[in-house]
Structure 1
Amino acid sequence: MAIQLIQGLKKIRKVIRLASGLPDAGRQWVVWWYCGINKNHQAESQPSALVAFRELLSSGHLSDDVYHRRVPLTALGQVRVGTVWKEGLCQAEVILDTKEFAVDFTKGEWKLTSFWLAAENGELPPFPHGIYPLKYQKDQNWLLEFALATGGRLIVPCLEFFTRCYGRSAELRRVLATYPWSECKEKRLYAPLDEPEEPDRWKVKLRKRLVNGDVVLLAHAKYELYTERAVKAIYAQIEAHYESASPKPAFIKVAPWFRGPASIKAKGIWFDDGKSFLALQVVGCSDPSGVPILRGRENSNNAKERTENDEPGSAWAGMPTRVLAKLPEIVDLTDEVEPDPSAISMEIEDPEFEVLGQPRVVVEMKKNRAHSSSGQKVKGTDASQFSSGEPYGRGQGVGYASIHARPVMESEGMLRDMWNAMLFMKRAYPKRVTSVAFFTVNDGYKETPEPTLIPFAPFAEKDDVKPDVRNWPYIRLGSSPDVRGVLVARMTIDGRQIHIMEIQRRPQKRKDSQGNTQEAEESFQGLVFEVTNHVNIDAWADFLLTEVRGVKGVVGKLLRKCPGPAETFRHLPAKTEEMPCEAALKSALTKVGVNL
């Protein structure tokens, strides 16, 4: 009997095409369920995941039959549950409800369950079979169950939790599933630190193939036994399963890798009268709290000075020079062949991963002088397919695919993002950034987490100004207009008092490149300036707020009137930033001679 698809579909497009792993061509297939992990005997460094598909029929219903196919484990971030595929290409996605949940990762506050276990114990199933029917009434795939404040439950499939919450790169998860922990730790994840440890700071140097976002999990795995046990259990379960010669895939248990309160944002289906939720796609998760993490990279060029010897060194020697920055329209991804060592490589992005709440403080390690310079590289050969395994062989025409999710934080608006970035800098550089405060007219500087804006004074009726200038001090017009505010913040860095001024923006709606309407806001440059102790900040702030109104927020017109060094700055993002506006704040500070 066909299954009715209650949810609608939305068109999406992914660049990858699976060279194998999908059911019969010419028909549409919905990814329905992840069904365990298999070893890959063709390309041994690339485990496969068994994925269940249902056919999307012309009637809009789903087939009652389920078809199982193997997909590269590294490709699960692309082959999401709910995505619709045809001829190896993704065409659409099922529209699911999205919700953020407060949970607790502390042991005892969650449990592992399955339909098989519930049946064995005579308990209710993890979720009603009718809301999301699986092929087997006693399905053996493990699920995480969290208690919710509503009295309901959050159910997360373990393979989905592993794919989205165990680091940001598919490479990290491939390594954890393929090699024993001793080899992961000594050869494949951590590069030699080559410098002493420090109290109250965790230092991690990442291997070449990993991405920056992997560092939080790996730092905990290095310094906390609880996380180490969680990550080493992945390979141990797979290996123990195959030593038993079972024909079934390995149904692995995946535990939260840190303890304490956490947030999970997911897409899925409500049940139990809206009290419980089946999470089919994890969209984001919070970071664990803890000491700052110092992140380095193998053969990094992140040094203040170059090596004294200008001759070619050994860093990155033998690596191909060609990395495809612009992806072709279609990328054929395979797990049947390992990549050529000298072939070109490319980066493929999984859906963004939202870092919920306060991000973990991560600081780049910078050497005073580089120990090595770049070695002789080779010209990357062309490739017709791409693979995520270990380099092996020659002349197969297979390049390396680096697949990872970009961590993002939800923006709270440019003004608030800048304030959050200042607080982040204080946590990241406590010895240099000794204070972050905001200025108030009545109470002077205050250091509370929630900032107060200084309201602009509306123009008096007698003021001779144009209508657009007269309206500018208002964030919202109408019968009961709201006055616009400004944040005047002070960062005390190395004893210097650096001020940042940000204007409150009006909300706007803009269309993206595909014509979709999105929420946006006005665009203003920020102002950074330095004042000395003899400057009367009250008088200066009053002058600034009065003058900014007349130029409608174009602060560049006021630079010559500032009492000290002052510059404007733009709010340009960077791929390396840990949170919104981190790059913009660092750029602003460099304009007054402060480098963090």
Structure 2
Amino acid sequence: MHQRIRRIPPRENLCTTDDGDAIKHIRNGTVVVWWYERIKKNIDAESIPYVDVIFRFLDPNDEPAGVTSAQIGVSRLGSFRLGTIWKDGKCIAETDLGDDQIFSVDFTDGTWSFMNLHGNKQTQPFFKNDYPLRTQPTGDVLSTLISFPVPKGNLLIPCVEFLYRCYGSTSDMARILTTYPWDQIVDKLYADTEKDPTTWLVQPSPDIPNDDALFLASVRYDAYAENAAKLIYAQLDNAHGRHLKETSLEVKPWFQGPARLRVRGRWINDHKTFLCYEITGMSQPLDRAYEIRRDKYSKHDPENGSILTDPLKAKLELPKEQDPFAITDLQEPDQGSSRWSKPDPGFRVLEPRCSFTTSFVERSFSKRNVVPVEPNETRVRSTGDPQGYKKGVGKITAVAKRVIGDGGILQSMWEELIRLEKENRSFSSLAWQSDRDGFVQSANFRLLSLPAFTDTDTPEDKNRRWLVYTGNATRRRGMLVARMEIDHRFFYLLELQRKKLRKKKIYEEEKISGLLLEINNASEAELEISRICNKIRFSNGNFQKLKSSFDVPHWIFRHRLSISSTLYHAFEHMGVTLDFGSPE
């Protein structure tokens, strides 16, 4: 049964590079990423194994139609996520799957099972009825899923999805685990393999972020985790030994015991099976704390110290939407070429978080060599490991930062607005403003990017520093702009993206006021919001400094301890009465 796909704009930091080369053969029409199949060796660039990514064409009514496929590097699945919609080589939208779901599952071996899907037969009839997959003239397994029992049914997750999203925070982790034998994997992931079973000491390589240290520690001290990680390449090596060009992967959870998964997808099989398109968060094992150790070169020892090479990057040129980096899977980066780290959408750590400590080892250096590196000497980049020279290919790594907590003020404000819309008959619509598609009504909001400074602007250095937000692909702050229709009046809530600042030993969000406007003409609202987005950059996010320039009813408010109380008082000042329950 075909189901019309509802589109929403891509979320922040999704598909911010030029990935069109991978699907350049799909010239006509609009396609949606539908499925992941087998993995295979990449002859042109051996450190970037391919995944068979299946696409469905969309007809004029956005219903899935024909099928096509592409070989795409396993390290590119941060862009080619199930449900993303592409046209002319660009991601133009995502499938609206509603709210993310959180499932409590058991990762213990034996409590879950693998489900194999074969090319010439589908043993699960609900796939044919609810989510048709392509058939092939072979009895081989084309894809494997993990099936977790959940109340009244099961949760199905493609193994390739679990590998990319849950084994590591960067595009390198899945790539390394599918490329190299175990001894080389250890060399690439660990700076030192010294063990301390008492503290679970782990020393990641310099390129491996602390977000991945728990996985690396588990692999060092937990035989089950080590075997789960070893199994990935072993399956590919076994297939190569049998002269098979490609194989489906079985991927186990890398720890055992109770776990929670945050996923987006849809119910199929008469609401008995939840089919996961994407994992957006996961809990951590809590049975052992661990210690992260890093080298710190601070002592100058001309005779016995190491020689350090520090790349000196030129002034950063921000990536622009109309001029992103082109990514290739056909070549590997040049040795010594510049490296670029790009943010992907964040991945939620479902609390509580596993405890850890961080320590440093003082090292000595004899000499520091400073090598100038121009960040944009090439417009072509690759996710692979550096090989050879003078190809004009740089290195790029996608990073899905592990996010702790509830998403901060912006998420809390949005969730409260959704609740108010449901509980107040006078609250007739809620939408958020996107960069490209105007106002959108969907469960998950996006941020409106603040504009970059132009050559004619005269900002101070503090304004430039305030605007920078390295967690966004644009490297600029965003703003939540929510539009609400209440009693036939239109209100606009503006909330700026906050940075996290360190206060003693904890990080807290910046304290920034919010702004509530009433504008009942859509064209006037568009002009006013654009004006505010321009002006706010020169006041470092202080709406009070713009107060004298507002010509519409407005209220600038500080945030109280309770989100409900904050909104209650803000709307009260605008003459709006809503049922908040019991605001504090």
Q: TM-score range by the shorter chain?
A: 0.5 to 0.7
Q: Once the two structures are superposed, what CA deviation does each residue of 1:296-318 show, in whole Å capped at 9, x if it has no partner?
A: 34x545xxxx3144899646527
Which residue, 275, 289, 294 being the options, matches 2:291? Answer: 294
Q: In the alignment, which residue of structure 2 is the partner of 1:348?
A: 342
Q: In the alignment, which residue of structure 2 is the partner of 1:190?
A: 190
Q: In the alignment, which residue of structure 2 is the partner of 1:54?
A: 56
Distance 1:192 1:406, change over 3 A: same
Q: In the alignment, which residue of structure 1 is the partner of 2:573?
A: none
Distance 1:402 1:413, change over 3 A: closer
CA distance in 2, matches of 1:91, 1:130: 28
Q: In the alignment, which residue of structure 2 is the partner of 1:410?
A: 405
- Which one scores higher on RCO, CA 8 angstroms, separation ≥ 6? 2
Q: In the alignment, which residue of structure 1 is the partner of 2:80?
A: 79
1:272 deviation in Å? 3.5
Matched, 1:277 2:274: yes
1:56 deviation in Å? 2.0
Within 5 Å, give how 1:126-137 maps onto structure 2.
Answer: 127-136=126-135
CA distance in 2, matches of 1:282, 1:510: 18
Distance 1:213 1:271, change over 3 A: same
Residues 40 and 50, structure 2, Cα contact 8 Å, conserved in 1: yes
Q: Once the two structures are superposed, what CA deviation does each residue of 1:71-123 show, in whole Å capped at 9, x if it has no partner?
A: 11101011101101122221100111421000000011100112339969xxx
Distance 1:168 1:511, change over 3 A: closer
Which residue, 218, 221, 232 being the options, matches 1:220? Answer: 218
Within 5 Å, give how 1:248-267 maps onto structure 2.
Answer: 249-267=246-264
Q: Where does structure 2 lack aligned partners over 5 or more consecutive residues?
A: 413-444, 449-477, 485-492, 510-584
1:371 deviation in Å? 3.0
CA distance in 2, matches of 1:202, 1:340: 36
1:6 deviation in Å? 2.7
Q: Once the two structures are superposed, what CA deviation does each residue of 1:206-238 show, in whole Å capped at 9, x if it has no partner?
A: 112222211111110011110110001111111
CA distance in 1, matches of 2:59, 2:256: 44
> Which amino acid in the other structure matches residue 184 of structure 1?
I
Q: Counterpart of 1:60 in 2: which secondary structure?
A: coil
Q: In the alignment, which residue of structure 1 is the partner of 2:481?
A: 516
1:325 deviation in Å? 7.4
Residues 202 and 292, structure 2, Cα contact 8 Å, conserved in 1: yes
Within 5 Å, give how 1:378-393 maps onto structure 2.
Answer: 378-381=371-374, 382-393=377-388
Q: Counterpart of 1:234 in 2: which secondary structure?
A: helix
Distance 1:327 1:290, change over 3 A: farther
CA distance in 1, matches of 2:314, 2:202: 28
> Which amino acid in the other structure matches residue 211 of structure 1?
P
CA distance in 2, matches of 1:271, 1:175: 34
Q: Once the two structures are superposed, what CA deviation does each residue of 1:524-551 show, in whole Å capped at 9, x if it has no partner?
A: xxxxxxxxxxxxxxxxxxxxxxxxxxxx
1:129 deviation in Å? 2.0
| Matched length | 424
1:401 deviation in Å? 0.2
1:584 deviation in Å? 3.9
Within 5 Å, give how 1:28-107 maps onto structure 2.
Answer: 28-63=30-65, 65-97=66-98, 98-107=100-109
CA distance in 1, matches of 2:483, 2:355: 30
Distance 1:236 1:161, change over 3 A: same
> Which amino acid in the other structure matches residue 325 of structure 2?
V
> Which amino acid in the other structure matches residue 362 of structure 1?
F
Matched, 1:582 2:574: no
Matched, 1:242 2:240: yes
Q: Counterpart of 1:205 in 2: which secondary structure?
A: strand
Q: Counterpart of 2:78 in 1: which secondary structure?
A: coil
Distance 1:511 1:353, change over 3 A: closer
Residues 16 and 89, structure 1, Cα contact 8 Å, conserved in 2: no
Q: In the alignment, which residue of structure 2 is the partner of 1:154?
A: 155
Percent identity of the aligned residues? 29
Q: Where does structure 1 lack aligned partners over 5 or more consecutive residues?
A: 418-508, 524-570, 586-596
Residues 115 and 126, structure 1, Cα contact 8 Å, conserved in 2: no
Distance 1:340 1:319, change over 3 A: farther
Residues 320 and 343, structure 1, Cα contact 8 Å, conserved in 2: no
Q: Once the two structures are superposed, what CA deviation does each residue of 1:473-532 show, in whole Å capped at 9, x if it has no partner?
A: xxxxxxxxxxxxxxxxxxxxxxxxxxxxxxxxxxxx99854653299x999xxxxxxxxx
User: When the two structures are superposed, what TM-score results if normalisation uses the length of structure 2?
Assistant: 0.66
Q: Counterpart of 1:371 in 2: which secondary structure?
A: strand
1:392 deviation in Å? 1.7
1:204 deviation in Å? 1.1
> Which amino acid in the other structure matches residue 239 of structure 1?
D
Matched, 1:358 2:329: no
CA distance in 2, matches of 1:88, 1:28: 10
Q: In the alignment, which residue of structure 1 is the partner of 2:5?
A: 7
Q: Once the two structures are superposed, what CA deviation does each residue of 1:319-342 show, in whole Å capped at 9, x if it has no partner?
A: 564595733431211111111122
User: When the two structures are superposed, what TM-score results if normalisation uses the length of structure 1?
Assistant: 0.65
CA distance in 2, matches of 1:582, 1:126: 51
